[in-house]
Amino acid sequence: MEIQGVGIGRGVAVGPVIHMAAGLDVPGDEARPESLTADAEFGRVESALASVNKDLLARAKAAQDGQGAKDAAPILTALAQMAQDPALKTSIRSLLDGGKTAERSVYEAFADFEGKLQAIGGYMGERANDLHDVGQRVIAHLLGVPAPGVPESDKPFVLVAPDLSPADTSSLDMTKVLAIVTIEGGPTSHTAILARSRGIVAVVGAQDAAGLSDGQTVIVDAAAGKVTADPNQEQIEKAEQARREADQAKALRGRPGQLKDGTRIPLLANVGKPADADPALEYGAEGVGLFRSEFLFLGNEQAPGVEEQAKAYRALLERFPGRKVVIRLLDAGADKPLPFLTQADEPNPALGLRGLRTLKVHSQVLEDQLEALARADAETDADLWVMAPMVADEHEADYFVRLGKSKGLKRVGVMAEVPSIALMADKVAKVADFVSIGTNDLTQYTLAADRTLGSVASYQTAWHPAVLRAIKLIADAGQANNMPVGVCGEAAADPDLAVVLAGIGVTSLSMTPVALDDVRAELAKHTMDEAKALAAKAVDGEFYHPQGW
């Protein structure tokens, strides 16, 4: 049986299913049978509390020792302490003295404390869920049933759940969870975000997964967004092979990006905020190839001040001493509207004021951002490169490069996102220090297909030879003028396309950090001559398959 969902990443896993244990029913409020004394029941409760405490501490230690998510250790320790809280015990004792059952007393005492935490709100309010989780564990222990939430198992398994809450995910033991399959949730659900950031094999929104039984073997294929139940031997072997390749890819982490013959293709990370430096470094990025600076502006009613911006840039640059960090100026407009800069009534926003066009109109915003970048650059040791989005030709490139240099910035370049800049690439290469190709927009504008519109989604592929030819024009101009040409759109994250891009002459690739392993491994399999041969075929359209025509 094959179950379709939305895959996150490219991983493959094979293993037995374990469903997330269902929530417990609320214990009934009937009177306690007379045969059960309050003392005896309190004894039972104390032993359940002690077991839960011990179990949580053991899991905290395992997490600390690297068997689970390390950041889960303090959370699990705090949960363990909740199970030994004297005020809770006193409250349970008095409910037992009032004639309630052990299960009901635990339920009511925890619910009361949860309510108090919720009333305080903020950080304490968020702990109410954690306390609820501890209470459920104690009740499950009293009833002799598995604790609800993420199951425990000695053997690795594929976790099937309706969806995972942040509390569930904090206690996931990644040495045991081979993959996650959720019945609900989409590509932006909490589970998907977690899977992406931690590189967990996952298929989300797989509705029919509810019908899988515990112990049933499945293949979870994230690249295909598919879960195969009861696979045959041949399917299992194929999946195991894919998994081994993924493991081998991981083993190359920490090595620089290069082709088989040693030609260097630096692999960089796309990041959206300074804290994203963590996954970038974890996955072995050699630097940052695209820092989308929009996060500083989104949700604000005006542009942040120079010092506020400089602080954020410093925070990023300090994480990459001596390494390349490419920061993109604000890209407002079209799919990233900013109310204080973007006109709301443009009939075709993608063809309107966006990127550098917006910045030119709001020149103070542009000057302030360059000023902030120059300030952060002067105070840190990273190799800062600065670029503008949505640049149309050499005139706009010249305007931006001059302005950036006048602020003291050393490396100033442009993004290539519209076909006009590709057609003018020979002239652009004379004025810009570098070009970074934004294939998401370059594809949208080359194929005249809105990247946000589902009905034309099939056009949104950089495998289209028209897009590759545009890239080639830029790469050729780069080579002729000794100008670096990177790719920082989604295309760089496709391992096969990454080889083609290297063959076309692209000199660096920047992508979401989790894609780095697979791209690094694929590049290492091909020499430059092989990459060039593949590139020639791709530019000729050999690998492009039009859909529906």
Residues serving a catalytic function are: 190, 488
Contact call for residue 450 and Mg ion (CB under 5 A) = no
Shortest Å distance, C-beta 330 to Mg ion: 12
State the number of binding residues for ligand PEP (CB under 6 A): 10
Q: Which of 439, 446, 508, 512 binds ligand PEP (CB under 6 A)?
A: 439
| Structural contact between residues 444 and 460, judged by C-beta atoms closer than 8 angstroms | yes
Shortest Å distance, C-beta 439 to ligand PEP: 5
Shortest Å distance, C-beta 366 to ligand PEP: 18
Q: What residues from 309 to 368 belong to the interface with ligand PEP (CB under 6 A)?
A: 331
| Structural contact between residues 167 and 189, judged by C-beta atoms closer than 8 angstroms | no
Q: Which residue, 148 or 337, has its beta carbon nearer to ligand PEP?
A: 337
Q: Which residue, 46 or 393, has its beta carbon nearer to Mg ion?
A: 393
Among 29-37, 225-233, 316-324, 437-445, which window interacts with ligand PEP (CB under 6 A)?
437-445
Contact call for residue 349 and Mg ion (CB under 5 A) = no
| Structural contact between residues 446 and 464, judged by C-beta atoms closer than 8 angstroms | yes
**488 touches which of ligand PEP, Mg ion, none (CB within 5 to 8 A by kind)?**
ligand PEP
Q: Which residue has the tokens 């034309």?
A: 456
Shortest Å distance, C-beta 355 to ligand PEP: 9
C-alpha 327/C-alpha 361 separation (Å) is: 21
Count of beta carbons in the 10 Å neighbourhood of residue 375: 19
Q: Which of 225, 404, 419, 438 binds ligand PEP (CB under 6 A)?
A: 438
Token readout for 39 is: 């003392």
Task: For strands 6-8 and 201-204, give the pairing.
Answer: antiparallel
Amino acid at 529: D
Contact call for residue 494 and ligand PEP (CB under 6 A) = no
Write the DSSP symbol of residue 519: H
Q: Which residue, 442 or 515, has its beta carbon nearer to Mg ion?
A: 442
Shortest Å distance, C-beta 193 to Mg ion: 21
Task: For strands 217-221 and 201-204, give the pairing.
Answer: unpaired
Contact call for residue 438 and Mg ion (CB under 5 A) = yes
Q: Which residue, 276 or 417, has its beta carbon nearer to Mg ion?
A: 417
Contact call for residue 512 and ligand PEP (CB under 6 A) = no
Contact call for residue 489 and ligand PEP (CB under 6 A) = yes
Contact call for residue 503 and Mg ion (CB under 5 A) = no
Q: Which residue, 108 or 441, has its beta carbon nearer to ligand PEP?
A: 441
| Structural contact between residues 83 and 140, judged by C-beta atoms closer than 8 angstroms | no
Axis-axis angle for helices 465-481, 495-504 (nearest 10): 40
| Structural contact between residues 450 and 438, judged by C-beta atoms closer than 8 angstroms | no
Contact call for residue 527 and ligand PEP (CB under 6 A) = no
C-alpha 205/C-alpha 207 separation (Å) is: 6
Shortest Å distance, C-beta 425 to ligand PEP: 17
| Structural contact between residues 415 and 436, judged by C-beta atoms closer than 8 angstroms | yes
* Residues whose CB is less than 8 angstroms from the CB of residue 321 and which lie 6 or more positions away in sequence, other chains included: 380, 381, 382
Nearest of 490, 426, 439 to residue 466 by alpha carbon: 439
Q: What residues from 275 to 314 belong to the interface with ligand PEP (CB under 6 A)?
A: 290, 292
* Per-residue binding letters, 396-435, with ligand PEP (x by CB under 6 A): ---------------------x------------------
**522 touches which of ligand PEP, Mg ion, none (CB within 5 to 8 A by kind)?**
none
| Structural contact between residues 468 and 476, judged by C-beta atoms closer than 8 angstroms | no
Amino acid at 465: P
C-alpha 165/C-alpha 423 separation (Å) is: 49
Task: For strands 12-19 and 217-221, give the pairing.
Answer: antiparallel
Contact call for residue 440 and ligand PEP (CB under 6 A) = yes
Q: What residues from 404 to 423 belong to the interface with Mg ion (CB under 5 A)?
A: 417
- Site of interaction with Mg ion (CB under 5 A): 417, 438, 441
- Site of interaction with ligand PEP (CB under 6 A): 290, 292, 331, 417, 438-441, 488-489
